[in-house]
Amino acid sequence: MRKNTTVIAGSLAAFLLAGSVSARAEEVLRFATWDSDESLAIQQAIAKKFEEKHPGVKVQVEPYADGYDQKLVAAFGAGSPPDVMYMWNFPQYYTSLMPLDDLIARDAAEIKPDDIPQGLMNTTRVEGKTYGMPSGFTTQVVFYNKDMFKAAGVEEPKEGWTWDDLRAKAAKFRDKDNKVYGFAVDAKPDPYDFEQFLWSNGTKYISDDGKTIDGYMNSDAAAEVLDMFGDMARKEEAATLHLGDDTSGDTLFKGGKIAMFQSAMWSKAGIDAAGFGYGVAPLPKFGDKPAHSALGVSAMSIAKDAKQPDLAWEFVKFFSSPEAVAMRTNDLPVRTSVAEEKGMTSDPVYKPFFDILATSDIETHAFLKNRNWGKVQDNLARAIEATMIDQGNAKAHLDDAVKRSQRFLK
């Protein structure tokens, strides 16, 4: 009896030791994300799929939600950053991230970089180096209410339409008594997105080398864009957002108060839920110049001091694979092949998002060109708002913004 007890005890000890070794052998990969709800569930499903393909690996998904930047900065400051993280603000973080160019080149046959539009990759580069792999994106489009267009007898937008076309259509919806308009212009737009209009009119905020704003941000072409929106507000072709009223364009569009609404993929689910017939048109052109769109891109990055750098790269590769990209049903696919397989590049609702992506790969957003862009942008934002309040005189306001910002370029 005593002998048997010893055997059992020995076997139990061996089992516990084996379990302890097994637990210690499990590799844990930390992945930080800003998403929640459905998006978070999809990311957790992708992580689970990766674990199935890599026995002994545990992907610890860390949802930082609204406090993302604060928590990420704190993690880097404490010397314990997540191995892999969602990223968009590369100028702020790139010195703490791992450059991926050599890894992408080494695994090009697996990565298939030509399947990812160049414009998306451009958003992950700082000073010529790549610090992330795109995971989801959106371009900007114009949603329009088909029911309102039909009731007003206005022809729906067509591919290749211009801002003059939009203004002519918008004017036909104006009903001041019922506060119904054809469009909405924002008195306080996000300067990141607003740069798309300068691109479309042949200019930009800052030179490609990131050193010059005079003659760019305050160019005649830039002033023309800004004055156009001020004029639309003055002539009541459009409702003006964020001037003493916090009602969003999204709310006005879903409530039938504006017939056309410029936005991006993040508005689609709410518009779908509103239950009316709508169409999607590309951004209008300025004359015969091609329209360009701002690019909203989320990417996967690896911490320079990642505890599991090799495993982190394997996870990023999988996250970028056609299999994982196809799982991200609430994002536009970053791989052309996946978008085509899903029929999205020919679907009239999704096609405009992809069409304008093809014309938006030649420009780089200003914040990627100069480390002090945030300070310049503050002056630019004030110039845009001042023009919308005045409903004109853009050149003077932009000249002032340039003058106030010159010291940040030295």
To the question of pTM greater than 0.95 for the whole model, the response is no
Apex 308 CA angle, 305 and 311, nearest 5: 130
Q: Where are the alpha helices (DSSP H) in 130-219?
A: 146-152, 163-171, 191-200
pLDDT of residue 306: 93
Q: What is the pLDDT of residue 298?
A: 94
Q: What band does 288 get if pLDDT is binned at 50, 70 and 90?
A: very high
Grade residue 17 by pLDDT with cuts at 50, 70 and 90.
Answer: very low
pLDDT at 18: 43
Residues 251-263 have pLDDT tens digits of 999 999 999 999 9
Q: Name the token pair of 310.
A: 């090799």
Dihedral sign of CA atoms 232, 236, 238, 243 in order: positive
Round to whole Å and give the CA distance between 48 and 314.
14
The angle formed by the CA atoms of residues 189, 150 and 175, to the nearest 5 degrees, is: 55
* Residue 299, φ and ψ in degrees, nearest 5: -140, 165
pLDDT band, residue 243 (cuts 50/70/90): confident
Name the CA dihedral angle for 367, 371, 377, 378, rounded to a multiple of 10 degrees: 150
Please say whether the beta carbons of 144 and 259 come within 8 A.
yes
Amino acid 213 reads I
Of the candidates 137, 135, 119, 126, the residue with the CA atom closest to the CA atom of residue 101: 126
User: Please, which residues bridge with residue 260 across strands?
Assistant: 144
Under the banding of pLDDT at 50, 70 and 90, the label for residue 7 is: very low
> What's the CA gap between 389 and 195, in Å, rounded?
19
Please, what is the average pLDDT of the chain? 91
Evaluate whether 294 touches 195 at the Cβ level (below 8 Å). yes
For residue range 194-221, what is the model confidence (pLDDT) as tens digits? 999 999 999 999 999 999 999 999 999 9
Please write the tens of the pLDDT for every residue from 183-197.
999 999 999 999 999
pLDDT band at residue 25, thresholds of 50, 70 and 90?
low
The predicted model gives 136-153 an average pLDDT of 97
pLDDT at 6: 37
Which pLDDT belongs to residue 24?
46
Whether 20 shows a pLDDT value over 90: the answer reads: no
Pull the structure tokens for residue 49.
């799929």
Task: Work out the widest C-alpha separation in the chain, in whole angstroms.
Answer: 99
Q: Which domains does the chain have, with CATH numbers?
A: 2-131+297-327 (3.40.190.10), 140-295+365-409 (3.40.190.10)
